[in-house]
Amino acid sequence: MSGKPLRIGIVVGEVSGDTLGVALIRAFKAQEIDATFEGIGGPQMIAEGFHSIYPMERLAVMGLVEVMGRLKELFAIRDDLVARWKDSPVDIFVGIDAPDFNLRLSSQLKPLGIKTVQYVSPSVWAWRQGRVHGIRAAVDLVLCLFPFEVDFYLKHQVPAVFVGHPLAQEIPVQHDLAPARQQLGLDPAQTIVGILPGSRSGEVSRLAPVLFDGAFKLLQSKPALRFLVPAINQARFEQIQQILASYPASFSQAVQVIHAQESNSKIGRDVMAASDLVLLASGTATLECLLFGRPMVVVYKLHWLTYLIASFMVRIPYKSLPNILANREVVPELIQYDATPDKVYQAAKALLQTPQGKTQQDALVAIHQQLQGQQAVNPALAILGVLNKT
């Protein structure tokens, strides 16, 4: 390679991708690799010097049906990135999660001679396994968060390595509530329930009312409870406040919505770390909650048609990462028609009782220890390996 700095293209679509993206940028810097980073990133990445061509929020859409209304915009963003990098090629492209967008982008960049990497495997081992053939054609390497994913890819002749999740090493197995509460200015003696309805507008619209209704019932049975809700940006803050405005004052006064600072999109993790119990949307955030060892109730609802289509394709019995990793039900999953306020209330009430909450917490700690015990490859070095191949 020449003496010029490496130009690395990265695209992330949500907060969890921003977390992995900033860790990746820091991993390159730790290796003293002269590199610049551009594409689409979140506030943590931007704070590290990343040049974001579009706001990350533009990609924050999920679901087979939900994405249809945004296709024109998403295609325009993808086509613009392809045109930019065709005229002025990056040395390598790393798509972090957001597989529907990133794998299509990779499939257009690879024929241009740009090396391509997918960081975070789509759940191809769980549903639509035929996608593995498209992945093999689109990318030079898959960086996997979990060891079992590597076995699946190698079986299908797709280059893959286990890089783990940076937070699995960063977060200690035993994580004390006190420092997180002190950081957020919270009473260390209160019982606090974190509510994370997601980072996307559609998720918040579907899930916040269910979670808030369940939390309101919980407050009526335990009036001393306090609730924390993270908002990753001003738009989510206003959306959550608008939903809260429809509730009685007794509930809204017990809820504190914490707005992320401009350079800090890890506010969700701060809330998890400070909570005795977390009610949250299914997704990568459940892994972060697992790593903090916080008892949780996982909730998710999709558009009814998206759910109907997906239900015919899923090949595994669990939807949340803690249960998938344990291969058994460690955390309650309230999905689609089970996502009701009463079921949220019942599951949360049970976990606030010491035996049930402690049992789940012990199981989460055991999974964290297993993840820490696996030998992971440095993702920056894995990406460099792709570049150094002739």
Question: In percent, how much of the chain has pLDDT > 90?
Answer: 62
Separation CA 92–CA 82 (nearest Å): 13
Supply 22's token pair.
Answer: 């900033």
Give the single-character DSSP code of 39.
E
Assess whether 266 and 154 both reside in one domain.
no
CATH number, domain of 152, equals 3.40.50.2000
- 135 and 33 in one domain? yes
Q: Is residue 316 assigned to a domain?
A: yes
Q: Is residue 88 located within the same domain as residue 216?
A: no
DSSP string, 269-327: HHHHHH-SEEEEESSTHHHHHHHHT--EEEEE---HHHHHHHHTTB-SS--SHHHHHHT
Q: Of the ranges 81-85, 88-92, 232-236, which one carries the lowest mean pLDDT score?
A: 232-236
Indicate whether 11 pLDDT > 90. Answer: yes
Average pLDDT over residues 282-311: 81
* Domain membership flag for residue 143: yes
Task: Write out pLDDT tens, residues 86-121.
Answer: 999 999 999 998 888 999 999 999 999 999 999 999
Residue 1, domain member (yes or no)? no
When mean pLDDT is compared across 55-64, 85-94, 173-182, the lowest value belongs to: 55-64
Whole-number pLDDT of residue 390: 44
Q: At what angle do helices 201-221 and 341-351 cross, to 10 degrees?
A: 60
Mean pLDDT lowest among 114-128, 200-214, 305-319, 373-387: 305-319
| pLDDT score of 81 more than 70 | yes
148 and 241, same domain (yes or no): no
Q: Give the residue from 229, 222, 224, 226 showing the smallest Cα distance to 208.
A: 229
8 Å CB contact between 220 and 353: no
Q: Are 148 and 227 within one domain?
A: no
- pTM reported for the whole predicted model: 0.78
Q: What is the pLDDT of residue 128?
A: 62
Same domain for 255 and 123? no
Q: What is the pLDDT of residue 65?
A: 47
| Residue 31 covered by a domain | yes
180 and 121 belong to one structural domain: no
Average pLDDT, the chain: 89
pLDDT tens by residue, 12-36? 988 889 989 999 999 999 999 999 9
Residue at 27 is within a domain: yes
Two structure tokens written together for 2: 């020449």
Assign 200 a pLDDT band (cuts: 50, 70, 90).
Answer: confident
| Judgement on whether residues 134 and 44 belong to the same structural domain of the protein | yes
79 within a domain of the structure (yes/no): yes
Domain interval for residue 365: 170-372
- Phi then psi for residue 360, to 5 deg, are -65, -45
Write down the pLDDT at residue 280: 95
Task: Tell me how far CA of residue 37 lies from CA of 47, 91, 92, in angstroms.
Answer: 12, 10, 10
What is the rounded CA–CA span in Å between residue 34 and residue 115?
18
Taking the CA of residue 175 as centre, how many other CA atoms within 13 Å lie in the half-sphere pointing to its CB? Answer: 30
Asked whether residue 44 is assigned to any structural domain, the reply reads yes
Spatial separation of the C-alpha atoms in residues 177 and 188, rounded to whole Å: 8
CA distances from 194 to 130, 212, 285, 291 (A): 38, 11, 12, 15
Is residue 231, in this structure, part of any structural domain at all? yes
For residues 133 and 264, state if they share a domain. no
Claim to verify: residue 366 and residue 381 sit in the same structural domain: no
What is the mean predicted confidence (pLDDT) over 362-378?
A: 89
Are 252 and 148 members of one domain?
Answer: no
Domain count, the chain: 2
Of the pLDDT bands very low, low, confident and very high (cuts 50, 70, 90), residue 283 is: confident
Q: How confident is the model at residue 224 (pLDDT cuts 50, 70, 90)?
A: very high
Pick from 113-122, 256-265, 302-311, 381-390 the range whose average pLDDT is largest: 113-122
**241 lies in the same domain as 136:** no
